Amino acid sequence: MTKMRGVPTTLLAVVILTGLCLSTHAATSEQDNKAPAGFRALFNGRDFMGWKVPVGDNGHWKVINGVIDYDAESEAPGDKTLWHTEDFKDFVLRVDWRIKATPFINPNVPYILPDGTHAKDITGKEMKLALPDSDSGVFLRGSSTNQVNIWCWPIGSGEFYGYRMDKSMPPEVRAGVTPRHQADKPVGQWNRFEITVRGDRVTVVLNGIQVIDQAQLPGMAASGPIALQHHGGKDSQGKWNSPPSLLQYKNIYIKELK
């Protein structure tokens, strides 16, 4: 094994790949949750007015210091995702989000190619990475399939996993929902989505960088609510058995398009 300044290159590669998952902390400001011109706020910074907290959640979705905070441990017996009460058709949606922590090591992170497929080794086996990971997303028009992903994968946040992994979809659809850039900030820092939906086409800008360009989502409903995704669970020993949605959200604004 070769080394660089005493560091094994295999370890160095892991450090590079997981650089996006280094924790820091960011605070809210007085300008948060005040809609800019042309938009209206879907979250008021104080409570869940306009949102449907899952029945039986028992306080795991909560508002703390002007942000929606989730610990990924909702006790709701059914759907644990946080849904907005309104339906939306065509719109521009802005959402600020940050991953709080990555306590789960995901052993099955794929090496995703530009066409949306997974890279394979010389034996034909998919290549996998073991990386710290948390997982959530923004659902569009009432369906988890229309999910703008949030996670720590090297491909970056902003993809539509449900479409990219659907082998019945045309190749151009699967490629279109695959991020062109990795634009995530390190874990603990705030990120900003700007998501534009027109018809069955979606564009995603992450931190000022366009990662999805008018991707087609065949079969997407004409209208529906947005949602903030629950993900993750614990085993009988209380350890995470999948990437948890340890997320915070703020500055959720929408501009409906005519």
Which stretches of 1-112 are DSSP H helices?
9-17
The reported pLDDT for the residue numbered 2 is 45
Alpha-carbon torsion, ordered 246, 102, 116, 148, to 10 deg: 20
The reported pLDDT for the residue numbered 138 is 98
Q: Say if CB 255 and CB 90 are below 8 A apart.
A: no
Q: Which of 236, 235, 232, 242 lies closest to 71, judged by CA?
A: 232
The reported pLDDT for the residue numbered 27 is 55
The reported pLDDT for the residue numbered 30 is 76
Q: What is d(CA 158, CA 183) in angstroms, rounded to the nearest whole number? A: 9
Q: What is d(CA 241, CA 234) in angstroms, rounded to the nearest whole number? A: 5
The reported pLDDT for the residue numbered 22 is 43
Q: Which domains does the chain have, with CATH numbers?
A: 41-256 (2.60.120.560)
Does this model's pTM top 0.85? yes
> In the numeric block, which tokens belong to residue 84?
């907005």
Query: CB neighbours of 201 closer than 8 A, spacing ≥ 6?
Result: 214, 215, 216, 217
Q: Say if CB 152 and CB 131 are below 8 A apart.
A: yes
229: phi then psi, degrees, rounded to nearest 5? -80, 140
Place of tokens 């695959």: 178
The reported pLDDT for the residue numbered 11 is 43
- Average pLDDT of the chain is 91
Q: What is d(CA 228, CA 237) in angstroms, rounded to the nearest whole number? A: 27
Query: Which H/E stretch holds residue 17?
Result: helix 9-17
Residue 84's DSSP bridge partners are 51
Q: Which of 229, 219, 225, 230 lies closest to 254, judged by CA?
A: 225
- Per-residue pLDDT 10s for the chain (258 aa) are 444 445 444 444 444 444 444 433 445 677 899 999 999 999 999 999 999 999 999 999 999 999 999 999 999 999 999 999 999 999 999 999 999 999 999 999 999 999 999 999 999 999 999 999 999 999 999 999 999 999 999 999 999 999 999 999 999 999 999 999 999 999 999 999 999 999 999 999 999 999 999 999 999 999 999 999 999 999 999 999 999 999 999 999 999 998
Q: What is d(CA 138, CA 11) in angstroms, rounded to the nearest whole number? A: 33
Beta strands (DSSP E) in 179-232 are 191-198, 201-206, 209-216, 227-228
The reported pLDDT for the residue numbered 108 is 96
Q: Say if CB 138 and CB 93 are below 8 A apart.
A: yes
